[in-house]
Amino acid sequence: MSHDQLQPADAGDVRAAFTRRSLFRGAGALAAGSIVADAARSAAAAPSVRLEGALEIELSINGAAQKVKVEPRTTLLNALRNHCSPPLTGAKLVCDRGSCGACTVHVDGRPVYSCMTLAIDAVGKKVTTVEGLAKGGELTEVQRAICEHDGSMCGFCTPGFVMSITACLERKPDATLDEIKHACAGNLCRCGTYPHLFDAALAAGRALRAKGGK
Amino acid sequence: MKAFELIQPASLDAALEALPGARDTKARDRVKLLAGGQDLLGELKEHLIEPQTLVNLKSIPGLDAIEHRDDGSLRLGALVTLARIEEDRTLRERFALLAEAAGAVASVQIRNAGTLGGNLCQRPRCWYYRHEQAVCIKKGGSECFAYGGLNKYNAILGGGPSYIVHPSDVAPALVALEAQAVIRGKRGERQIPLEQFFTLPSEGSVLRENVLTSEEILTHVIVPAQSGAPWRSTYLKFRERGSYDFALSAVALRLSMDGDKVRAARLVLGGVAPIPWRCEKAEKALVGREIDAQTAEFVGKLALEGAEPLEHNAYKILLTQGLITKALRKLAS
């Protein structure tokens, strides 16, 4: 393993995004966010858009629009942690290779690895991070159950598991143990708290059903 | 990851325009296609490729459509995610083998972002190929380091001069389903059997795993209607790590039965060769037979005929024969 694998692959662009000027060839002086969104929706007649260097995009994060300065190579994880204000550090940078699940967020309600998603590809979509789950300071059933079942040890993987379990139970509140395991297959916990996490997920499912969830 | 320019083409034609010509060999590494990014971003982060330009296929409208046609066939856009293939109700009913294989790919997070086209065009997982400093034969070097090195995960069939295995789960299933690949290039569209899409290192360029030139895009996959008697099918995948992993070996099997006897069969292996490995001899041998222990042993032997294991992967022969037996039993019962 080379040392640089331990570093975020695009760490260098944090500062660069604020010093380099945006460059839009053939796209005029519109905000990149609207260009990207338009390109995603556009008809065949629309021209291609070229994006390079630092650009400002608008993301929908936890229900609020947020303008962030990124580059095309900036991952969604990097944008959340380093370019949002306040920084959203719930999603963790661990493997940075789509292997461990610590960076899991929801994009349009589906769990994805934010380290393997370009921030630009999240334009026009609804991003939900672990910070966006609890409403009015009250923990969700999944979060509460993980606390009650002692579901985290060092806690670094916990936000990722919360996102995976939440997505699983939103689709199927009566998910079986096997279905929960399948939903969490892309999340690693090096402390080995899996049995507690799975118990918590089953309990959260029961609580959601008692509350009259789907 | 190095900086790149991102082109968001508004149409397929605009995307093709951004690609270098097939003869421009120097330019082919400068421009890469971006779909779900689940493989490509890893390659960029590991500096295996450092393109100047990425062409984002996600901005092209309509490439993510699942189309169930009146004749019972299926037309999938290359940008359909693996999760949608796994979940589509009609697709599950008509092409269970494909849905099963899509569900066996990696983790929920990867299936939600990863696309059909990306899965079929993903690069090898061989750890020598994936190591930035190892300039192996797949990266323009002169040697396959796996051949004389740590080759537990490498090919037992069809290897040489490179011994990678094709990592896709949906590819063996689609070849078993006799799918067609639709390819658009600057000079028009061509449609070929998906089986012919993949190339052995000894027959195509050792630098690629398929027939795509640098000016072409895999746009659709067409799965023909299931004709004749009802087919049964299964996709069995053996992983070293149970939660999620690439296949050490995988079996895509389709059988059409006539009472207790096999009327027709399709058997394609994954994880053991540089391409999805079609076992035509074994398929023919199955016809007219009942599924019993003897048949399973005979078919398993034929399927692995010509296997040349490397120092650390002879286990794949027994493992694959075991999977074939298991798949036959499952479909016979």
**What's residue A46's pLDDT?**
60
- Measured between CB atoms, which of B13, B83, B108 is closest to A185? B108
Query: Which residues face A60 on adjacent strands?
Result: A65, A126
Is B24 part of any domain? no
Count of A-B CB contacts under 8 Å: 130
The answer to whether the CB atoms of A51 and B18 lie below 8 A apart is no
The answer to whether the CB atoms of B110 and A113 lie below 8 A apart is yes
Give yes or no: residues A150 and A123 share one domain: no
Nearest CA distance, A136 vs chain B (angstrom): 28
Give yes or no: residues A115 and A165 share one domain: no
Residues of A in contact with B8 (CB under 8 A): 35-36, 39-40, 48-51
The answer to whether the CB atoms of B108 and A44 lie below 8 A apart is no
Nearest CA distance, A82 vs chain B (angstrom): 16
Query: Which residues face B223 on adjacent strands?
Result: B74
The answer to whether the CB atoms of A167 and B37 lie below 8 A apart is no
CATH number, domain with residue A16:
3.10.20.30
Alpha-helical segments (H) within B129-212: 170-176, 194-197
Where among A132, A150, A178 does a domain terminate? A132
**B61 in A contact zone (CB under 8 Å):** yes
| Total count of domains within chain B | 1
Give yes or no: residues A106 and A170 share one domain: no
What is the chain A residue with the closest CA to B46? A5
The answer to whether the CB atoms of A44 and B243 lie below 8 A apart is no
The mean pLDDT value for A58-85 works out to 98
List of long-range contacts for A28-33, beta carbons under 8 Å, 24+ apart:
A31/A56, A31/A57, A31/A58, A32/A56, A32/A57, A32/A120, A33/A57, A33/A58, A33/A59, A33/A67, A33/A123
CA distance B78 to B283: 29
CA distance A123 to B249: 39
**What's residue A134's pLDDT?**
97
Where among A132, A150, A172 does a domain terminate? A132
Reported as type and span, the H/E element at residue B75 is strand B74-77
The answer to whether the CB atoms of B41 and A101 lie below 8 A apart is no
Is B197 part of any domain? no
pTM: 0.92
| CA angle, residues B66, B89, A133, in degrees to nearest 5 | 90
Nearest CA distance, A4 vs chain B (angstrom): 9
Measuring CA to CA, which residue among A199, A118, A113 is closest to residue A159? A113
Give yes or no: residues A58 and A99 share one domain: yes
A15 falls in which pLDDT band (50, 70, 90)? very low
Is B125 part of any domain? no
The answer to whether the CB atoms of A71 and B3 lie below 8 A apart is yes
The mean pLDDT value for A22-45 works out to 43
What is the chain A residue with the closest CA to B5? A52
**What's residue B28's pLDDT?**
75
What is the chain A residue with the closest CA to B57? A40
Give yes or no: residues A56 and A83 share one domain: yes
**What's residue A3's pLDDT?**
40
**What's residue B233's pLDDT?**
98
**What would the pLDDT profile of A172-213 be if each residue is shown by its tens digit?**
999 999 999 999 999 999 999 999 999 999 999 999 999 985
The answer to whether the CB atoms of A185 and B107 lie below 8 A apart is yes
**B211 in A contact zone (CB under 8 Å):** no
CA distance B321 to B325: 6
Residue A9 has pLDDT above 60, yes or no: no
**B264 in A contact zone (CB under 8 Å):** no
Where among A80, A99, A132 does a domain terminate? A132
**What's residue B259's pLDDT?**
92
**B5 in A contact zone (CB under 8 Å):** yes
* B219's tokens: 């746009």
Alpha-helical segments (H) within B27-168: 40-45, 82-87, 89-94, 96-103, 108-113, 116-121
Residues with Cβ within 8 Å of B23's Cβ and at least 6 positions away in sequence, in order, are none
Give yes or no: residues A14 and A68 share one domain: yes
The answer to whether the CB atoms of A186 and B18 lie below 8 A apart is no
The answer to whether the CB atoms of B10 and A46 lie below 8 A apart is yes
Give yes or no: residues A166 and A194 share one domain: yes
CA distance B196 to B180: 9
The answer to whether the CB atoms of B18 and A48 lie below 8 A apart is yes
Give yes or no: residues A125 and A167 share one domain: no
pLDDT one digit per residue (tens) for chain B, 333 residues? 999 999 999 999 999 999 988 777 777 789 999 999 999 999 999 999 999 999 999 999 999 999 999 999 999 999 999 999 999 999 999 999 999 999 999 999 999 999 999 999 999 999 999 999 999 999 999 999 999 999 999 999 999 999 999 999 999 999 999 999 999 999 999 999 999 999 999 998 999 999 999 999 999 999 999 887 789 999 999 999 999 999 999 999 999 999 999 999 999 999 999 999 999 999 999 999 999 999 999 999 999 999 999 999 999 999 999 999 999 999 998
Give yes or no: residues A49 and A124 share one domain: yes
Write the CA distances from B58 to A27, A59, B10, B113, integer angstroms: 19, 17, 9, 11
CB A118 within 8 A of CB A111: no
**B54 in A contact zone (CB under 8 Å):** yes
CB A125 within 8 A of CB A60: yes
* Owning domain of residue A159: 141-210
What is the chain A residue with the closest CA to B11? A44
A36 falls in which pLDDT band (50, 70, 90)? low
CATH number, domain with residue B293:
3.30.390.50
User: Residue type at A27?
Assistant: A
The answer to whether the CB atoms of A110 and B11 lie below 8 A apart is no
Measuring CA to CA, which residue among B120, B129, B144, B156 is closest to residue B46? B129
CA distance A199 to A184: 13
CA distance B314 to B333: 30
* Interface test mutation site (partner A, options B12, B109, B131, max chain A beta carbons within 10 A): B109
Write the CA distances from A144 to A138, A201, A212, integer angstroms: 9, 10, 17
| Total count of domains within chain A | 2
ipTM for the complex shown: 0.96
**What's residue A17's pLDDT?**
33
* Owning domain of residue B287: 231-332
**What's residue B204's pLDDT?**
84
